[in-house]
Amino acid sequence: MLQPARDLETLRARFSWRLPASYNIAASTSDRWATEAPDRLAIRHVAADGDRADWTHLELNRAANRFANTLVAKGITRGDRVALLLPQGPDVAIAHLGIYKCGAIAVPLASLFGLEALTYRLSDAGARALVTDAAGLAKLAEIRADLPDLSLVISVDGPAGGAEGLQDLLGAAADRFDTAPTTPDDPALMIYTSGTTGQPKGVLHGHRVLLGHMPGIEMSQNFLGQPGDRLWTPADWAWAGGLLNALFPALHLGVPVISHAVKKFDPEHAFHLMEAEAIQNAFIPPTALKMLRAVDRPAERFKLALRSVGSAGESLGRETYDWFEDEFGFAVNEFYGQTECNAVLGSCAVAGVSRSGAIGKAVPGHEVAIVDGSGNVLPREEPGQIAVKRPDPVMFLQYWNKPEATADKFAGDWMMTGDQGVQDAGGYVHFFGRDDDIITSASYRIGPGEIEDCLLQHPAVALSAAVGKPDPLRTEIVKAYVVLKDGRDGDDALVEDIQEFVRARLSAHEYPREIAFVPELPMTTTGKVIRRKLRELARAESALTAAV
């Protein structure tokens, strides 16, 4: 754990990595608390109808032991991949813990995935087992013939369609299990990249990935683990953000977690939940925070216990940062990382690390720099690529079955993120966008984040995304896809008004020369805008225009 301090220099001076020779995620998040605080609340599940089900650490641990015994009895061995296709809930935690306990590898999958996405990931991972629900079984029935490695299917909704029922299996298994003696580098978890560009890759992590997350997550929650802390996230627990920015760091620290599965994020409902459950800590991705802005006078209408909010996954932007601080009286702690190496840059307002428009500074224990394409460190104020130096406990082991892609991820000892940014004179890093997102227009290189942040300040705009559209004169022009607030109609007058709004606040070369009003933006299951799809749409429009 980080020792709380009022400044980053003290935090860094006090911190050093001390990884044990033997470490298993289940040991520190479940075995420990089942012994030290068996009756402490581990997870409270709030159902859609409001019913609550509380799980103590002892109950959670015994269920995980039963699941580990089940897996072993069914022939699952160390290193086998066990996939999870479930919404937020205690069953997700039970399955993960049981998988770690027997030395297998957890492969979380989002419930929103379609058939092609599921087939690709299950096949690529060579998954031996799958834990899912009735909705997942319905999808699996259409693709099962394409998954020869899949020998065991377990459903939390009971036996059906060739699947065995989870509760039946747990009821027949012993509640004692000796957690496998794994090392920090032994594989534990494989999370597939969101696939904003190209086919998703399986990012394989060792058990140390949780310990590597802890400094950044503790900072983002203003030193998580204080008396009364209770954490919630709307992020899917199938995503690194839900698992490693929220669920497992909280369990590691003995902080109760609120789980609540919803099909679609509802900002008004989110405030009601945070009020009803006296949530003190939340991990809320930027897109969800931007949606919360649409709720009228939330600080006045809801009695919230919030003391910290962390946000990551894409750029938060000045507008949302400033709105939150003005509304609630404290700052969102923005932080940064990737599936491959997460929570390496961060903010912590109570330690004096907070700046509107920045994603923070290097978290204690991580070396982060802005480098050129060859891995040479650039001076401050010079834009380049964000990179993380190895070795680092939070860094991935490899891409699954892709040694060339793994090697290509590095320039010397620097892991290249593919994200463009700059470090200012004060040491704060500012995020521009991914390499593929950068717009080249009339020799200018334009990051979409600043444009999107400016668009959000317009009173008619709810969400937006900016991409480059091919142009014979300028190489590319900026095109914005805009979701309007309820009750606003898109017309030519509004297009001109929005264009002038951005031009006046940014510059003549950054304003969107074209604006399209759309009902929604394409997003990954993690809540990131898939700009690749919008770029493809813009290219198709350009090609059609040229053909005419």
Task: Give the pLDDT band (50/70/90) at residue 548.
Answer: low
Instruction: Give CA–CA dist 200/457, Å, rounded.
Output: 33
Q: Are 351 and 5 contacting, i.e. CB atoms less than 8 angstroms apart? A: yes
Q: Are 344 and 394 contacting, i.e. CB atoms less than 8 angstroms apart? A: yes
Q: Is the pLDDT of residue 538 over 60?
A: yes
Give per-residue pLDDT as tens, 233-250: 999 999 899 999 999 999
Q: Is the pLDDT of residue 372 over 50?
A: yes
Q: Which two tokens stand for residue 462?
A: 């709810």
Q: Is the pLDDT of residue 398 over 80?
A: yes
Beta bridge partners of 187: 206
Instruction: Give CA–CA dist 76/130, Å, rounded.
Output: 11
CA distances from 42 to 59, 75, 90 (A): 9, 29, 9
- For CA atoms 380, 382, 386, 392, give the dihedral sign: negative
Give me the mean pLDDT over the 361-380 stretch.
Answer: 97
End-to-end CA distance of the chain: 63
Give per-residue pLDDT as tens, 148-199: 999 999 999 999 989 999 999 999 999 999 999 999 999 999 999 865 445 7
- Two domains, one topology: 1-17+207-367 and 24-206: yes
Position 196 scores a pLDDT of: 47
Q: Which of 258-262, 314-318, 464-468 is the least confident region?
A: 314-318
Give per-residue pLDDT as tens, 419-432: 989 999 999 999 87
Q: Is the pLDDT of residue 417 over 80?
A: yes
Give the CATH architecture of domain 1-17+207-367: 3-Layer(aba) Sandwich (3.40)
Position 347 scores a pLDDT of: 98
- Domains of the chain, by residue range, sit at 1-17+207-367, 24-206, 438-547
DSSP state of 184: T
Q: Are 56 and 38 contacting, i.e. CB atoms less than 8 angstroms apart? A: yes
Give me the mean pLDDT over the 361-379 stretch.
Answer: 97
Task: Give the pLDDT band (50/70/90) at residue 57.
Answer: very high
Position 505 scores a pLDDT of: 80
Q: Are 245 and 284 contacting, i.e. CB atoms less than 8 angstroms apart? A: no
- For CA atoms 454, 458, 464, 469, give the dihedral sign: negative
Position 445 scores a pLDDT of: 63
| Domain 438-547 indexed as CATH 3.30.300.30 | yes
Give me the mean pLDDT over the 437-464 stretch.
Answer: 81
Q: Which of 35-44, 138-147, 308-317, 394-403 is the least confident region?
A: 308-317
Position 446 scores a pLDDT of: 77
- Cis-peptide into 519, omega within 30 deg: no
Q: How many DSSP H helices and E strands does the chain contain?
A: 19, 28
Instruction: Give CA–CA dist 96/106, Å, rounded.
Output: 6
24-206 sits in which CATH class?
alpha beta
Position 369 scores a pLDDT of: 98
